[in-house]
Amino acid sequence: MAGKEHNVGFDTDLYSRQLYTFGVHAMQKLTSANVFLSGLGGLGVEVAKDLTLAGVKTLTLHDPFNAHLLDLSTQFFLTEENVNKGDNRAQISAQKIAELNPYVRVETYSKDDHLFVNDNDKFFNEFFTYLQSSNFQAVVLTGFLFTLPQIFKISHHCHKSDIKFVYGFSAGVFGGIFADFGDQHIITDKNGELPLEFYIENIAPSGEVSTLDAVKHNLEDGDVVTFTEVRGIDSINQPSVSFKVKTINASKFSLDNFSEAQHPGKYLGGGLVKQIKTNSTLPFSDFESSLSNAKFEFSDFAKFDRPQLLHAALLAAFEYIAQSRANKFQNKNVCFYDSLPEAWNAEDAEAFVKQCESVNTKYKLNVEVTKEARDLWRSVASVIKGGVVGVAGFLGGVLTQEVIKGITGKYTPLCQWLYFDITELLPNALGTVSGSNNVTLSKTRGAGQEIVVGTEVAQILSGLKIFMIGSGAIGCEMLKNFALMGLGEGKNNGKVVVTDMDLIEKSNLNRQFLFRSGDIQKPKSVTAAAAVQHMNSAITVEAQQNKVGTETEKIYTDAFWKAQDVIVGALDNVQARLYVDSRCVSFKKPLLESGTEATKGHVQVILPFATETYGSTKDPETGGYASCTIKTFPNRIEHTIQWARDQFESLYNVQVSEVDKMLEAGPQWIENFEGSVQGADRLRNSKRLVKIISRRPKTLEDCVKFGRLKFEANYHNKIVQLLHLFPRDKVHTTGPEKGKKYWSKEKRPPTPIVYDEKNPSHVNFVRFSALLFGRIWDMDLLSLYGNQFFDDEFVNKEVRKVKIETFVPADNKFIETDTNVSDEEMKKKKAEMEAKFRSNEEEEKKQIEQNLVVLKQFIDQNYSDFKTKKFVRIEEFEKDDDKNGHVDWILHASNIRAQNYEIKPADKLETKRIAGRIIPAIATTTAAVSGLASIELIKTAKILKSKLFNSDFTPDATLELFKNCFLNLGVPTFQFATPVKVKKNELAPGVVVSLWDVWDVKEGDLTVAQFLNVIDKKFKVSNVDAITQGTQMVYMKWMPGHDKRLGQKMRRYLSVEKEAKHVDLLITSEIKDVATGKDVMKGVPVRYWIVRSRGAAGGKRKRVGEVEVKKVEEEEEKEEEEEEEEEEESSLDW
C-alpha cells in the first residue's frame, strides 16, 4: 500500500505536516534546492536546523571561527568541550545537523579559512570564486563575518544570477533580516490559504454577485474567480472563463470584465464560486541599493521609529568591526568577539554612537539623531557581544521562511528589511552604560545571556521551577531554549518537569528536532529530556508520561502546582489548554501559552491578577458540519470525507466494540442487558448485535460479499431511497421557499451508481472493505493471499459471486432535511417515525427473546475461545500508518460518494489531511513562536524576583514589558500587543474582584445557609443567586424546592473525591460591571475546605474552627427522603 503513494519525489510520511502547508509543487522545488549558509553562531545554527528539517537537497555550511564561550547562550550544538578544544563552529555543527534529516546532504566549505585573519582579501577572492562556480539556489549570510563591501559584491552576484540572497544578524536584544529575490520574483501563492469556495444566490446584469445567505466571501480586489453550476448563464460555467473581482462589501462583489453581450442569459439560480490562485511579480533591490532607500516591515508598531535607528546601528556595526579588525587582527589568535564593542563599556559605546552618526551621513539615511537615538545605539553597543536564544530562535524561524519563499515562490516575501528588538530585557535603562551593578560579566556557559539580561535575572532563571505540558514541536524547541537559558540548573534548586503521553512517530521528525529516526516509538518526554541534557549537563529535567487533566489530579496535586514558578503550555488542543489555564488561575501561576498552525502562530502571556486568561478569549473549536449535510446533502469533498470517516468508525470500531464488550462480559452480558436496556432500545440493540455477529466471515468470499453489499447499500440503494422521498422535480409547498425547487442552492440531487468492475475506485472500495472486515474478525487477507489480493480481477472474480437483490424503496423511511437540527433532535424524530410503524408489544417481546437466544448461543460457543485469544479486533483510525488500509478505505468511500453528488474527488494526500484532521505544521513557525515565548519567560523572571504576583499587584506599568503576539510568517505579519488587563467586577460596595480571585471558606462543615452567611460576613456579598460545582447544582435561589436546602449540609450536594481536601465551587451573583456600569451575572470561584467528621472516636463531638461537627447518621435517612421529594419537584440540566 505504501508503494501506491503519489510519486512526488520525496518522503510524504516524513514531510506530511509540512506538505499540507507548502503543497507538492513547492515541496518539489524545496527538496531540489542547494543552499549556502555562512555564519554558524546562534542565528546561523537556527537557520541550519530549520532548513535541514524543511528538507533542502544540500546545505553547505561555512564559518572560519572556532567555538567561543559566548556562543553557548545561543549555539545549541556547541559545548564547553568544543570551546576548550577550539573546534570550528561549522565543522561541529555540520555533524549534528546531518543527523536531523537523512535526505539532506550537509557539507562544509572551509578552504583558506586560515587566511580570514591573516589575508582577508585573498580569503574573500577565493571564496567569491567558489561562490560563482557553485550551483546554489539560495545564499544566506548571518552575523558580521564579511565586510560591507564584500556583502555588496556577494549580493550583486546573487541579484544578477537569480540566486536568492538573505542576510540576517542577531546581537544581544537586537536583530534584523534582509531579503533580495531579484528583479522579477514570481509569487505563485501570496498567502498559502486554500482557494476560497462559496455558493451564490444572484448575478445581476451589471455583474454584481451576491453570496448565498449573505455569507462572507473573503475576496480581495484583484482576486480571480471562476463559476460552475450557474443556471441561466451557461457561458459563465466554462473552465476557461475567469473574472477579476472588485469587492463591494462582505457578501457582494462585482466582476470587472462581465457583460451581457459576452454572457447572455438571465440568472436562474445555483452557482459555485472558486478562487483561482494567480502568479504575481515582485521586484527587489540588492543589498547596497537598498541601504539609503530601505523599505521596512514593522514587527512592532509600538516601536515605529526603531527600524531606522537599528538600520543605522547595523551599518555602524560593520564599520566599527572593520576598523577593529584592522587594529586587532594582526594577532592571528584574536577571535571574532574581540572585534566587537566591549559589553557595557562607556568608551566603546560612545565610539559606536559616533559611528552611527557617521553612517547616517555616509549612506544618507536621514535618521533624526536625538537623545533617544543615541541611548538606543549605546544599548546596542553594550550588548552586541551577548546573545539570547529566544531572539536567535525567532529570527531564525523568520529568516528560514524567507529562504523557503525565495526557493519555492510560495507566500509573500519581506519587502525588504525587518528589524526586531526586545529592549525590555535590558538590566539597565535604555542608554545607561556605566554606574550599574546589574551586570557582572562571568566566564560561565551563560555569559552571553548575562551580558543581555544581567546577572541577577540569570540567577533567577537558573533557579526557576518550570512545569511544561507537551514535548512535541514547541516542547522540543522550548526545552532547547531552557537548556541554553540556564533554566533548571540544580545548583540553584531549579528544575524543569515535562510531561507528554505520546510516543515519537516518523512524521514528528520533520519539526521536532530533538528526535531521530532511531527514537521512533520511544516516549517523547524522556527522549527530549535526554537530548537537552547533552546540550547543558547542568540542567535538571524530570520527564513524565502523564496526561494533565482531572484524571491525574492525584499526581499533579495542589502541592505540586504550588511548588511551580511558571507553567509553559505546549499543547495542541483547546480542551487541554482550558484545563491547564484553570489550574493556573486556581494556583495563581504565570502561564506562557503558545501554538502554531502552518505559517501562523501565537504567544499569550497570562499573569496572575494582571491579565485575562486563555479561557477569557480562547481559540475556537474546529468547526464541524451539520449531520443532515453529511448524511443527505453533501456539496463539498470535506462533507463526503467526513461521511466516510463516520462510516469507518461505525463499521470497524463501534459495532465490533459492542461484540468485544459482550464477549468480555460473557454469560453475565445477557443479565446486564435485560437489566439496563429499556423500551424500544431493547429491540433495536439486540437486533443490531444479531446482525453484526451473523456476518462474521469465514472465507474470502464472505469478506468480499460484505464490501460489495456495502457498495450497493451506500451508493445505490440509499440514493434511490432518497430520490424516492424527494424526487428531482420536487418543489416546496409551504413556507418562504414555496414554489421553488427542493433541489436547489446547496442541495445537490444525487445520482445512484451501479458497480463497475472496470472502475478502480469501485474495486478498491470492495477490496479495502474486505480487508478491514476480515481484520476485525481476525482474518488477515494479506497474509492469506499476498499480492494477488491487489489484482483487480482477483477481487472481481469474487464480486461476481455476490447476489444483488433488486431494491424497492420504502415510504416509511425517515430522512432529516433540516440542516439546523441537532443530532439529538434528529434521533428523537427518527424514533417518533419508527414508533408509527412498530409492531405490537407482544410481537416485539417475542423478537427480543429470539434475538437474546441467538446472542446467548453466540456467547456460549465463543466465550472460552475469546478468553484464550481475542478474535475480535477494534480498528482505531490511524492516519500515519500507510499499510493499514484506513486512509485507502476512506479515500474510495468518499470519492464514490462524491461521484453520487457530482463533487470533485480528492487525492489520497488531501483525504488523509481532512480525515486525519491533520494540523499543518512547519519547523519555522515553531522556532519563531518558541523564541518569543522564551523571551516572555525572561520577562516573567524579572517580575518573579519582586514577588509581585498577589492580589495587591498593580499591573498597569508592568504589563507594558510584556507582549502577546500573533504572527503569520507567510504574509508576513507580526502583531505584538500588550496583554489585555483582566476585567474587574464590583460585587458590593468596596468589593472588587477578578477571575483571579478565589475565596477560601475554611469555617467547617456548614449548611448552605451558613455558607451563604460566611460569604456575606467575610466577603461582603449578600446577593448570591447560585452555588454550583462544575455542572452540578448546589443551590439556586430561584429554583423551586431549593429553599429546603438552606438547612442541609453543603456536603450533601457536593461531589468529593476520596481524600480531597477541598472542592472548587462557583457562586453567582448579579453585579455591576466596572467598565460598562451594567448589571450582569458573574461568578466568583470559592474554595470550600472539606471537614471529615466521620470516624471520630465513639462518634464524639469534634471542634473544628468555630463550628461543632457531630455524627448525623440518625438524620441521614430522613434527609435522603426529603432529597428525593425535592428532586421530584425540580430538576435542571445546568
For the annotated catalytic residues, the residue numbers are 628
Buried b (16+ CB within 10 A) or exposed e, 248-265: eeebbbbbeebeeeebee
Task: Provide the total of helices (H) and of strands (E) in the chain, helices listed first.
Answer: 37, 33
CA neighbor of 595 nearest in space, from 579, 613, 574: 574
Q: d(Cα 385, Cα 730) in Å, to the nearest integer?
A: 77
Reported as type and span, the H/E element at residue 177 is strand 174-180
Measure the CA–CA gap between 419 and 305, rounded to whole angstroms: 11
Residue type, 347: E
3-state secondary structure of 752: coil
d(CA 304, CA 23): 35
Contacts of 552 (CB under 8 A, 6+ apart): 546
Please tell me the number of Cα atoms within 13 Å of 1026 on its side-chain side: 19
Helix axes of 655-665 and 841-868: crossing angle, nearest 10 degrees:
70
d(CA 472, CA 528): 9
Q: CA nearest 461: which of 438, 494, 427, 424?
A: 494
Query: Residue for cell digits 429546603?
Result: 1044
Contact 313, 174 (CB under 8 A): yes
DSSP annotation of 1052: G
Q: Are 17 and 510 in contact (CB under 8 A)?
A: yes
Contact between 117 and 332 under an 8 Å Cβ cutoff? The reply is yes
CB atoms < 10 A from the CB of 430, how many? 12
Query: Can you give the length of the chain in residues?
Result: 1134
Residue 788 — left, alpha, or beta (φ > 0 → left; ψ -120 to 50 → alpha)? alpha
Distance, C-alpha 1117 to centroid of its chain: 52
Cell (9 digits) for 1042: 431549593
Contact 897, 7 (CB under 8 A): no
Report the distance separating Cα 279 and Cα 831, nearest Å: 54
62 within 8 A of 38, measured Cβ to Cβ: yes
Nearest 10 degrees: Cα torsion 482, 484, 486, 490 = 80
Strand partners, 467: 497, 567
Whole-number Cα distances in Å, 195 to 189, 748, 995: 10, 21, 41
Grid cell in block for residue 847: 423478537
- 7: Cβ–Cβ under 8 A, 6 or more apart, which residues? none
User: In this structure, what C-alpha cell is assigned to residue 541?
Assistant: 529535567
Query: Whose CA is closest to 472, among 595, 588, 362, 640?
Result: 595
Residue 620 DSSP label: P
The CA distance from 415 to 181, in Å, is: 10
Q: Which residues pair with 1077 in a beta bridge?
A: none
Helix (H, G, I), strand (E, B) or coil at 993: strand
First to last CA, the chain: 50
Verify cis geometry, omega within 30 degrees of 0, for the bond prior to 972. Answer: yes
CA distance 927 to 995: 32
Alpha carbon distance 543, 558 (integer Å): 19
